[in-house]
Each structure stands twice: as C-alpha cells, then as structure tokens.
Structure 1
Amino acid sequence: MDSLEALLATLLGIMPGALYTWELEKQAGAWGTGVSDRVLRFLGVSVLFHLLLAPLSWWLVQQDRHGSLRAGTFPWELWPAVAVYALLPAVLGHAVGVATRRRRAWSRWLTGPAPAPRAWDQVFSQEGSIWLRIRLKDPGGGDGGWFAGAFAPARRGPHSYASGFPHDQDLYLAETVEVDPATGRIRLVDGRPKFRDVGVLMRWEEIAYAEVMSGEGEL
C-alpha cells in the first residue's frame, strides 16, 4: 500500500463518522469536548457505518479485483454506490440532530440520555419559546436586580440567542417585560406581560440564577 492508498484508507475510515457528527452538530450543537474526543467519535461512528455498509464495501472490493474497476477506469454506474458513503452519514446525522433538538425520544438511542454537556445547552438548545426570570448579581441592574423576558423569535430585530458549548455563556433576550423591582414578579396588564420593546444582552457571570418557565400561562 503506497502513501496515497494509505491516505485514502484513513479518509474512508474517518469521513463517514465525521460527516455524521458535523451534520448532527449543525442541528444540535457542537458538544464534543476536544480534538481527541471528536476523533474517537469519528472513528466509533465510522465503524458502525462500515458494519452497516459491509455488503456494499465487499461488492466494491470485488469490482476492484475482478470487475469493471480492474480495467483501470472508473465506470460511472458505480458513482451512486460510492456516494452512499458520504450521503448516508450526512443525512442520518442531520435527522438525528433535528430529533435531538426537538427532544424526540428515539434520538436518545443514538445520543444517550443526556447528550448536552451543560445545563445551559440543555435549556437553550430546544425548539420553542421559554420565559426567563433572571436575578442579577448586581442589585442595581435591571429592575431592582431583576430581568424577565422571552427566549423567542423577535417581533422586530434579531431573534433571541444563547451561545453554545464550548464558548462562554452569553444570552440575548429579544423580548423583555416589566417586573416588580421588589419581588421580581412579572407585571401583567389584562393578564398579559407588559413588554418593554427592548432586548437585553448579558453574560452568565452577571447572573445569580435564572428561573425557566415554559409558557405565559405559568407567569
């Protein structure tokens, strides 16, 4: 085996797992802890794909030894078979990533019961809107040290956003509401929160704790 063949064998061994992981992380977040962890994930997932595609791999080897590849030319009818090694991992990674973000029960068979590395990522990686009531470390910030708002798409301007692992934790709330500075309770007008029409950007270092609520009915 020459150096080019060794390189191709290495790529074939890693790329299915890499394509699967990259597509999954595009949807669910980059939750690998480091280079060594990611390489192990690439290899582990690649092993599973090669087990799944073993009949196709065997057929391609036979084509190389005894079939149309032996003539030294690449027949175009083999192109779909080779493309499976790239397309199948990418499509499956995308599907698992979307299912993980939507908290589908079946995705846990592939990602484990707790794939998010931090509670922060677990809360903010899900789809849908959530309400937050935040107590700041500085009692002079916000309304008596309180902020409340919706982690949701904005009515105007940029949508809410939370940084993901492994980056520093910062948070942008596109919609904030008025609170009682004495108690931190959200002020309601006719049973609805009173919006401030302003977004807030803050870092986790500024937050003492945050209460997470799933909907307006729990305010």
Structure 2
Amino acid sequence: MSSDWELIGRTGLSFFGKMAASISHEIKNVLAIINENAGLLEDITLMAEKGTPVDPDRLKTQAVRIKNQVRRADGIVRNMNKFAHSVDESLVSVDLAELSELLAALSGRFAYTRGVTLESASVGSSATIRTNPFLLENLIWLCLDFAMDMSGSGKTVGIIVEKTEVGGRIRFTQLEALGEPPTDKFPGEVEKALLAALKAQITKDVDSGELVLTVSKNMEH
C-alpha cells in the first residue's frame, strides 16, 4: 500500500508541474498579445504627434483587443487559483461538474495542440461528492488524456457529468478509436492506485465509444 501512495505522490507532482507549466505558457501568450497591441497604440500615438490624423475606430479596436486579453488572463488566473487550492485539504465536498469543467479548462491547451475539441455538459441535478480534490483532478486528467488519444478521426471528446445513486460519474464520449490497441493498457498502474484511493472505478464501452469514471459519494466509506 505504501508503494501505491509513493506512486500517487510522484504522479501528483508530475501532474501539478505539467499543469503549472501549461498555465504559465498561456499567461505568457496573453502578455505577448497585450504587448503587441500596446506597441500598435504607441505607433498610433507617435503618428499623431507628427500630425497624422488618428482614426478613433482604430484606437477603439486596439483597446477592445487589450480588454479581451485581460479578461482571458483573469479566467486563466482564476482557474490556476482553484487548481492550486485543491491541495489545501485532503477531504472536502466538491461539485463533480465544476471539478470536471475546471479540468477541461486546464486541459484546453493540450487539446488544442492535438487538434481535439472538448465538449462539456451536465445531466440532471449536480453530483456532490466527498473526496480528495487533487487526487480526483489527477485521475480525471489521466482519463481525459487517454480519451483525447482515443478520439479518432472525429477529434472530439464529450465530457458528460451525471449524478448516480453511489455518487457521480463522468462519461468521456465520442471515442471512435476506443476499440483499437493499446486500450488494454488503460487503466494502468497509476490509474489503478488512484482508483483504489478514491474508491472509484473505470469502465469502457467499446460499442458506444465511452470511457466512464464512476466516483463514490464518500471516499472514506
């Protein structure tokens, strides 16, 4: 059992670092765009100082672009803050849909580089579970990472959250390549350790192209 927790710990650090690096990359991209637009505003100002008429619409366009990037950065930082605080407590009540949406947002850049579209949805009433949020985030990411590899030619992964009698479940849908190798290698050693710790289970429905993560209402019981 101790070896499982060592494995979970190593994987958790790797997961945290991977997400932190992706978030910082996104913030750098936003800053680069803001800097580019600020440079254009500076050029317009220099032209005005030399007597060139200033087009108000052009100024407005640059201002809107900067405001949009500031809004984008605010969303990135909010998600980063939620993710960072997920390690604060080892057992809390969480909304499974909100946690799933957070992971989808954090995984957006990884999906984009693979040409995959993520489509999130919740069905029925919200599923509130008592669990370790960071460990569950890690497990959701591993499932999502695998699902993106299995998206096939459709390049779309549906993420559907549902409440169940035992807690909640996340269905990763539209996995066209789910029946192809190496699907037999998932879940692997890391996923199995997390599943045991969280009292969760993974099932695969090859015919419907779905990977289902079912999570217990309370990981203590």
How does the TM-score come out when normalised to structure 2? 0.27
- Structure possessing the higher radius of gyration over alpha carbons: 1
More helix by share: 2
